[in-house]
Structure 1
Amino acid sequence: MLTKYLLIADDNEGILDILTTYVTKEGYSPIVAHDGEETIKKFIEYKPLLLLLDVMMPKKDGFVVCREIRQSSNVPIIMITAKGEDGDRIMGLDIGADDYIVKPFSPGEVMARIRAVLRRLEFSDEQGGEVIYHPGLKINLSDYEVLIEGQAISLTKKEIEILWVLASNPGKVFSRDNLLNSVWGYEYFGDARTVDTHIKRLRSKINLPETFSWDIKTIWGVGYKFEVKHA
């Protein structure tokens, strides 16, 4: 039976002690790291299912670690940020983090976030054989690859998952809560601004002309939909 490692990176011994206790109770094997360099070394060595990553760490901060890991891995990353640091949360999501937790937090909340992210990972694996095509668009969820007019577009995991959910249901309007549940999971503790931020960045990256054959439309007061335009 494969060992289910979770890597917890934080320079606060008290937080490490609490989280390792709860992770162990959930049936996982915790691996701890106290700085950014140690985090990367242990990530490579243990190949964890998920990484809990504090932003403020010695040697390499959480943003640097997240960027380096995202160059070669899509393993879920949940970032831990200081209370009120909205900039940290936005930056973390933008560079590829799957979720964020704000200090101070309850261990129960952390475990709920972990379960939600890992359930989403299982769902993605189940859908792994699927490739979605629309005019000028190809989404391969198993490889986390998006091509527009044959050109690869650099998107984060969550941006790809949002696009996949919308493109799988052309014409269907998704509320922000629908998208939170579909992409982040039912136990996600964030708010609708998370969806709006990701949609804004997704649109900016794909940068479609108005005449393109599809678009992500805002339905004011409701949410978003994937619209295929007919000639």
Structure 2
Amino acid sequence: MFKIMLIEDDESLFSEIKERLSQWSYDVYGVQDFGKVMQEYSAIQPQLVIIDIQLPQYDGFHWCRMIRAHSNVPIIFLSSRDHPTDMVMSMHLGADDFIQKPFHFDVLIAKIQATLRRVYNYNTERIELRTWRGATIEYVKNTLTHDNESVLLTKNEMFILKVLVEHKNQIVNREDLIRSLWDHEHFVSDNTLTVNVNRLRKKLEPLDLDGYIETKVGQGYMATEEAEA
């Protein structure tokens, strides 16, 4: 049973989400003290976190930053505000998905299932290491190491890199990437993928690898690799 931490101060909505998710055999935990979210997170050790943006004391962005400083646990944001910048901000902070309120519960369930399947299934593959441009990619640890310097990637960043590297020197179109990441591309903004790729490139800058994730305008992205002699 997956443990889900739902950081939501609307008691009515919390109860409804908890009841619906319990029907799918998810174990849902709430927050007792919105000033001590990290202490409660550490005690629960959830496999997924769902965060509302508007919360007492500190907003959801604050708690996302705090969680990301310690963990790559998948995070889904909820928001009743109709601001595109909220989605962009959530992705910049390392969130895995974003759901606009009001939402249909089928959409919430689909996004939760897709996130859990993506995060916890691909890490069980036999292939744990891969090399690319002299760098070592460790899928299980979500790290990329080059010249003794390592960077830690989020689940989405690693998944994008994994797909591109496994199809190196080939264009992977945007639609295929979106389907691989979120399964239900109808509910995903095209800008969400762009933000995630840009975040990946930013992480690759210290390793001088950012220039090898190329954008193919109107098509998609490509990880380039030097041809073998």
Question: Could you tell me the TM-score, scaled by structure 1's length?
Answer: 0.87
Instruction: Indicate the larger mover: 150-159 or 201-210.
Output: 201-210
Q: Distance in 2 between matches of 1:179 and 1:168?
A: 13
Aligned to 1:86: 84
Instruction: Indicate the larger mover: 152-161 or 105-114.
Output: 152-161
From 29, 34, 45, the equivalent of 1:31 is 29
From 52, 55, 58, the equivalent of 1:54 is 52
8 Å CA contact retained: 2:5, 2:41:
yes
Change (3 A) 1:213 1:69: closer
AA in 2 matched with 1:215: Y
Cα shift at 1:197: 1.8
8 Å CA contact retained: 1:130, 1:142:
yes
Instruction: Indicate the larger mover: 53-62 or 28-37.
Output: 28-37
8 Å CA contact retained: 2:5, 2:28:
yes
From 164, 167, 171, the equivalent of 1:166 is 164
1:144-168 CA-partner distances (Å, limit 9, x unpaired): 1112333223543322221121012
Q: Would you say 1:228 and 2:225 are equivalent positions?
A: yes
SS at match of 1:109: helix
Aligned to 1:133: 131
AA in 1 matched with 2:219: V
From 172, 177, 187, the equivalent of 1:179 is 177
Q: Distance in 2 between matches of 1:163 and 1:117?
A: 17
Q: Which runs of structure 1 show a deviation greater than 4 angstroms over 4 or more consecutive aligned residues?
A: none
Aligned to 2:216: 219
Change (3 A) 1:176 1:213: closer
Change (3 A) 1:128 1:59: farther
Percent identity between matched residues is: 29
Q: Distance in 1 between matches of 2:207 and 2:101?
A: 41
Q: Distance in 2 between matches of 1:26 and 1:219?
A: 40
Q: How many residues align?
A: 228
Residue segments in structure 1 that go unaligned for 5+ positions in a row: none
Change (3 A) 1:48 1:229: same
Residue segments in structure 2 that go unaligned for 5+ positions in a row: none
Cα shift at 1:192: 1.9
AA in 1 matched with 2:2: K
Instruction: Indicate the larger mover: 87-96 or 148-157.
Output: 148-157
Q: Distance in 1 between matches of 2:89 and 2:108?
A: 20
Q: After the TM superposition, which residues 63-212 of structure 1 pair with which residues of structure 2 at under 5 Å, given as runs?
A: 63-127=61-125, 129-186=127-184, 189-207=187-205
Cα shift at 1:117: 0.4
Aligned to 1:5: 3
8 Å CA contact retained: 1:132, 1:138:
yes
Instruction: Indicate the larger mover: 131-140 or 198-207.
Output: 198-207
